[in-house]
Amino acid sequence: MSSVPPPPLPRVAWIGLGIMGLPMASNLLKAGYDVTGHTLEQAGLDRLAAAGGTPAASVADAVRGADVVVTMVPASPDVEAVAYGEHGVLAHAAPGTLFADMSSITPRTSVDLAGAAARKGIRVLDAPVSGGEAGAVEGVLSIMVGGERADFERARPLLGALGTTVVHCGPHGAGQTVKAANQLIVAANIQACAEAVVFLDKSGVDLEAALDVLGGGLAGSAVLSRKRHNFLSRHYPPGFRIDLHHKDMGIVTEAAREVGAAVPLGALVATLVAAARAQGDGGLDHSALLRGVERLSGIGAGRARR
């Protein structure tokens, strides 16, 4: 008796091959998916091809014939640029296509996109992620999803190739709302860690030993673990840039204002992130908030390395 072969994996169009998008698309390729990708940088297309994917010269070329479209771009205007217009996803994806936007954008943008897509017969999920570049490379992202439950269940196997925590959070926009809350918590945690590092350093404590014991207690966190080397070395290669966290803190404060939620700590951290960006640190990893605390504490920035 012959066994019935499993159905073929869906064909994927991937738009956005940056720090997060490229390793995520690569993980789909490793899982056996056929991935056609588009990005504005030739280097990203070359790296996709090296990983076994198919580069596309345009959004239209990438999405033509795809079963699933994934976008992973920096902000709401970028999502709108690739989704709308005569050259966008909605103009070229076939009815019935599943469109998973994994960018971090405003909840309102996600809701509007879902409405526009529905009129074209295209189903949308907002599926932002947390875990940074390391999580993207390792395939251990946390993925928070908004949209119809049936569409989430359809996308679950694909999302499972990208992350280990994949959760349906509610209707359209809910994934982005949870991501905004995530970014609030992460920024506050990084700022607290940065202040603790400066306090320990100025007190003459062995910083590495201190971080060991803090990491093993209630103060331990994913932030402290993943950013530990950055704090110790004062080296901030961009796993997640301050520029992007600045954008996300704007989303947090705007969305909180819309629903009447007070976020006093969030407002303060948003100001500190904006200050770091204004000081020229926008291209550094968000752990470089430590530089701002050092400046406030009279520690020369020459100590830090980019």
Give me the active site residues, please: 179
By CB atoms closer than 10 A (0-12, 13-18, 19+), residue 41 is: exposed
Q: Is 72 exposed, middle or buried (0-12, 13-18, 19+ CB in 10 A)?
A: buried
Q: Report the C-alpha gap between 138 and 105 in whole angstroms.
A: 23
Helix axes 207-215 and 174-202, enclosed angle (nearest 10): 140
Closest-CA residue to 190 (of 232, 216, 223) = 223
Strand partners, 167: 144
User: Sign of dihedral through CA atoms 52, 58, 62, 65?
Assistant: negative
Task: For CA atoms 19, 23, 28, 32, give the dihedral sign.
Answer: positive
Strands 129-130 and 141-146: antiparallel
Instruction: Answer whether 187's CB lies under 8 Å from 242's CB.
Output: no
User: CA 55 to CA 50: how far, in whole Å?
Assistant: 10
User: Which uninterrupted H or E stretch holds 303?
Assistant: none
Interatomic CA distance for residues 227 and 140, integer angstroms: 16
Do the strands 129-130 and 11-15 form a parallel or antiparallel pair, or are they unpaired?
unpaired
Residue carrying the six token digits 């699933």: 68
